[in-house]
A and B are shown apart, each in its own frame.
Chain A
Amino acid sequence: MSTGVPADVRERARTHRAAPAPRRAGTWAAYRGELVKLAALLRTRATLAAVLVLPPLVVLLLRGQRAPADTLFGRHVHDSGFAVPLLLLGFATQYVFPLLTSVVAGDVFAGEDQHGTWKTLLTRSVSRTQVFWAKTFAAVTFAAAVLVVLTASSTVASVLLVGHQPLTGLSGQEVPAGRAALLVVGAWASTAFPLLGFTALAVLLSVRTRNPALGVVGPVVLGLLMSLVGSLGGTGWLRRALLSTPLEAWHGLFTATPFSGPLVQGAVVSLLWTALCLAAAHRSLRRRDITGG
């Protein structure tokens, strides 16, 4: 029981201005807050600036050099401006994409641990689930922004600096410029699903490890391991289940008879990875005791 409440205390309580009826903020407000934080981070801005500036620099660099004939579309980089973005895409799928997405996704939860701000966030009017989705959406937004900027930057720079000549496809067929442009954009867009999967993987590592460095580096290492495992012989079923495999599914778009099976399969696998990683991350955050951070 409370001990007797003195009259002056009762009077103070009576005269205290009543708080206005609470209006809950929700996931959208939390999402906007996450975007504000991302926009203020040097790392985020530097990454976006890099994906905007580096592709034109690479195109310029390639112009003065012999074509890298041992890489996909490498031998055509001086013949068509549509070959360069595909060369860059092939390179990006190795480990650049996992790194670019995890720059934010790997830190978005662990950063709160690093700054000790979980208590600051969770003592406001937002639930853990709302915070979880706000952060996840922010990480996905960043991944999408990176993909869009990288696609635009590499394609526009290549077409402007090399030209919009027809593209030579993987079967040796000639692809007219208009169709080649569409296919290039489609190829980049096809990586959206595996990028979503890598974002979810980085989110999971960020939540579980509470360590930004592990959250950022983890997906890169895992992506490389998956590529390694996928390159081994006799791992057909395993290869199909790996998150790195859908990153190469766009190859089928550039054959004489295009095939989309790997794209569909890759999308399904990526969505499964996304669902599993996010479910595990959400469960972990919901059940966690916030003590230190």
Chain B
Amino acid sequence: MTHSPAVRAEGLTKRYGPLTAVDAISVEVAEGEVYGILGPNGAGKTTFLRMLFGLIRPDAGVLEVFGRTWARDGTATLDGVSGFIESPRFYPYLSGRRNLQLLAGLDGGVPAGRVEEVLDVVDLTGREAEKVAGYSFGMRQRLGVAASLLREPRLLVLDEPANGLDPAGIRDMRALVGRLAASGLTVLLSSHDMDEVEQICDNVTIMKQGSVAYHGTIADLRRQAPPQAHLLTTSDDRAAVALAAGRPQLSVTASQGGLAVRGTQPAVDFYVSTLVRAGLAIRSLTLGEAPLEALFFLLTETGPESGPDPATAVAAAPTAGGGRA
């Protein structure tokens, strides 16, 4: 018995006039996966999700959801699919519960008591009678997740669910998504936060300017990430760079008013002790961007000011830039 993947996109393209928002991307999300779509703002993540939900029509390519397409199956394409795009929006003049009841009515077949169940899942019990106009941003996000769970989806699509939340809200939202993912639900999560995707997802597609810049497992991504960077300032940075010459396990480059030092921990330790022995004062030594974050920027940023470090670019290039996810 064969199962259609939860989502299969092939050569999917969307243009707005001269702008190609999504450029022939291919993505496949297996059932049960927690899949991340990662990219900076404007990378095409939300446009992809809008096409998935039938809110906009692709200009080219194929998009199947559990083997169904919008052209052939219409609204039935969304059977078993739920989620929200950008921030979830509700009728502000209705209460949280009334909003959910209204949406449950639109879904049909939602069992009695399900509204209370999902309110409980997202910790909104006790606030459900208040009008949504008075809800905080985080409460609306959680209400969005509750609305998504009403019809017990097989695929949950969340577009930047932690966007705009305070740290506690982010923690709660991640915990909630983690719990849902652990229940076997297929989750397609769009984010611009590498840390969020790393914590939650099994596989990731990184998008850049409408194209796929990387696709692979989070484990592979970790392997391909550059070593942890340290930011170093010394009494004589020029001399410090000279002392790094001839050390293959170490990369020292000028960065943000100091030096960016990348290498294995023993190599960095040895280098720092060498600087001290050479009479250079260490004025500061702090952790730089996380390895995955560095790789994310490497894959998604272009231009002279944000260009990748040549050494790490060479390391990452073989796995990046594939047109197919």
Contact = CB atoms under 8 A, between A and B. Distances in A.
Contacts of B54: 122
A66 interface: no
Interface in A37-64: 37, 40-42
A283 interface: no
Nearest to A2: B28
Residue of A2, A40, A117 ringed by the most chain B CB atoms within 10 A: A2
Interface in A1-22: 1-6, 9-22
B202 interface: yes
Nearest to A32: B105
A119 interface: yes
B98 interface: yes
Interface residues of B, number: 59
A207 B82 CA distance: 26
A169 interface: no
Contacts of A116: 87, 89
A290 B55 contact: yes
Given A1-B28, A289-B57, A290-B56, A124 B107 contact: yes
B291 interface: no
Contact of A124 (B28, B98, B103, B202): B103
Contact of A29 (B57, B106, B203): B106
Contacts of A24: 75-76, 108
Interface stretch (B148-156, B165-173, B263-271, B308-316): B148-156
Given A3-B217, A123-B82, A36 B55 contact: no
Interface string B33-51: 1100000000000000010
Nearest to B111: A20
Residue of B55, B82, B202 ringed by the most chain A CB atoms within 10 A: B55
A1 B10 CA distance: 10
A30 interface: yes
B46 to A, nearest CB: 9
Contacts of B154: 16, 18-19
Contacts of B57: 289
Contacts of B28: 1-2
A17 B180 CA distance: 12
A58 B34 CA distance: 66
Given A19-B151, A30-B106, A37-B91, A290 B50 contact: yes
A19 B33 contact: no
A26 interface: yes
Contacts of A40: 91, 93-94, 98
Contacts of B32: 5, 9-14, 16
B183 interface: yes
A117 B91 contact: yes
A18 B79 CA distance: 12
Contacts of B105: 25, 29, 32-33
B123 interface: no
A23 B108 contact: yes
Contacts of B217: 3-4, 6
B278 interface: no
B106 A126 contact: yes
Contacts of A25: 105-109
A171 interface: no
Nearest to A42: B93
B33 A9 contact: yes
Contacts of A30: 106
A125 B89 contact: no
A187 B136 CA distance: 51
Contacts of A117: 89-91
A227 interface: no
A123 B82 CA distance: 7
Contacts of B324: 1
A127 interface: yes
B79 A289 contact: no
A134 B80 CA distance: 23
Interface in B132-146: none
Interface string A94-128: 00000000000000000000011111111111110
Nearest to B89: A116
Q: Which 6 A-B pairs have the closest CB atoms?
A: A13-B32, A16-B184, A23-B109, A25-B108, A290-B55, A12-B184
Interface of A: 1-6, 9-26, 29-30, 32-33, 36-37, 40-42, 115-127, 289-291
7 contacts: A1-B28, A5-B202, A16-B184, A36-B94, A125-B79, A290-B56, A291-B56
